[in-house]
Amino acid sequence: MFHAELEEKKAKGSKSSKDKDGEELDQVVGNAEDEIGDRIHSIRHDELLYGEGALLARFAPFVVGICRKYPKHKVWGLIAGFQLVDIAAQDPLVQNVATVALGKLLCISSKFCEENLYLLFRILETSEDATIRSNAVIALGDIALSFSNIIDENSHELYRGLSDSVVQVKKNALMVLTHLILNAMIKVKGQLGEMAKCLEDKDSRIQDLAKLFFKELSTKENAIYNNLPDGKIIMIFFTVN
């Protein structure tokens, strides 16, 4: 009997030792993961677009320069056979590609985003090319996924596309806002009235998207009530139904 008790104590001691070793190992692994995460965060935000010799750091100023439409700005581009060629910054295709590239760069670094986000807003407001405006709207949706706090501070700019004269731009803006609002990626700050206007849009596709948005929003507790005046709530109720 004494022997059995001794074996039981040894087993408990061995189990306790293993548990302790396991906890220490988990702690070491956790610390290592935190260090790796911090390092990756630092590389993404501080080095990819700002590090000495970083490839993207060399091209980012060109992209920003094109989007600013400097009259005398030239970009040296590489084509097949490594032949160098001048590309005029005023070329519509180059402007379009540069806008898309700017949107991608803004998703990388919060520092770069804070410095250049205003440029994307200006493109959305002033560009005469509907395709460029559409790409700018889509880019804002992507940026919101990366830096929701930065976009949330400028959320009023997201609604600018809803008043665009081109249906495609308006549609993209409505779809982006629908995704961001329903998934709580941005806060609604009294701008739902702009969404409500889409219920009376001339284009049936815009009307349908707006109805779908408010239908989904109505499933969230008090979401419409808390963000719209009573008159607009009644108007939406009768329009959707």
Q: Cα separation of 40 and 74, whole Å?
A: 34
How is the chain split into domains, by residue range? Answer: 192-241
Q: Which of 187, 185, 181, 190 is nearest to 214 (CA)?
A: 181
Question: Helix crossing, 130-146 with 92-106: angle to 10°?
Answer: 10
Q: How many residues comprise the chain? A: 241
pTM of the predicted protein model = 0.71
In whole angstroms, give the CA distance from residue 60 to residue 104: 10
Per-residue pLDDT of the chain (241 residues; tens, 9 = 90+): 545 554 555 555 555 555 555 565 555 545 656 667 666 766 666 777 787 878 888 888 888 888 887 444 444 444 333 333 345 456 788 889 989 999 999 999 989 999 999 999 999 998 999 999 999 999 999 999 888 888 888 888 889 899 999 999 999 999 999 999 888 888 777 778 888 889 989 999 999 999 999 888 888 766 655 665 544 544 554 455 5
Rounded to 5 degrees, φ, ψ at 76 are -90, 120
